[in-house]
């Protein structure tokens, strides 16, 4: 078990460009979450998947954001037409099941800088 992995670890992009991040969860985990963390704040929930189904989206997830989890394995988060306000750490987490009894394991994050 290698834990949750994310790629890339860092991304610098110019405003208006599109970016895509990848998350590989722990292999047997059917739940996958995306969070965003800005400086000095705790992570904020964006969206989550139960297998391949995207079940919930936060109001923070604007139309420029899209997430997929084909085949219920890895997930991608795409941001279109990036804005400076999108600069943040994007964290992925996975869990074995639903509800408060199942801890979420986080990846190392992808730090996005929009110039």
Partner 1 sequence: SQELEQSPQSLIVQEGKNLTINCTSSKTLYGLYWYKQKYGEGLIFLMMLQKGGEEKSHEKITAKLDEKKQQSSLHITASQPSHAGIYLCGAVGGADGLTFGKGTHLIIQP
What are the residues binding partner 1 (CB under 8 A)?
A: 4, 6, 31, 33, 35, 40-48, 55-56, 58, 89, 91, 93, 98-101, 103-109, 111
Give the shortest CB-56-to-partner 1 separation in angstroms.
4
Alpha-carbon distances, residue 81 vs 17, 48, 71, 95 (angstroms): 5, 22, 27, 31
Q: Within 13 Å, how many C-alpha atoms sit on residue 13's CB side?
A: 24
Cβ nearer to partner 1, comparing 35 with 79: 35
Give the shortest CB-16-to-partner 1 separation in angstroms.
26
Write down the residue that tokens 């790629």 correspond to.
7
Cβ nearer to partner 1, comparing 3 with 16: 3
């Amino acid at each position: 078990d290698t834990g949750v992995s994310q790629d890339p670890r860092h991304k610098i992009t110019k405003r208006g460009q599109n970016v895509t991040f990848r998350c590989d969860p722990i292999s047997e985990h059917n739940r996958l979450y995306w969070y965003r963390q800005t400086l000095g704040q705790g992570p904020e929930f964006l969206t989550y998947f139960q297998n391949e189904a995207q079940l919930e989206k936060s109001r923070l997830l604007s139309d420029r954001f899209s997430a997929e989890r084909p085949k219920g394995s890895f997930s991608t988060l795409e941001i279109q037409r990036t804005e400076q306000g999108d600069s943040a750490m994007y964290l992925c987490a996975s869990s074995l099941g639903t509800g408060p009894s199942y801890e979420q394991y986080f990846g190392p994050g992808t730090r996005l800088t929009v110039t």
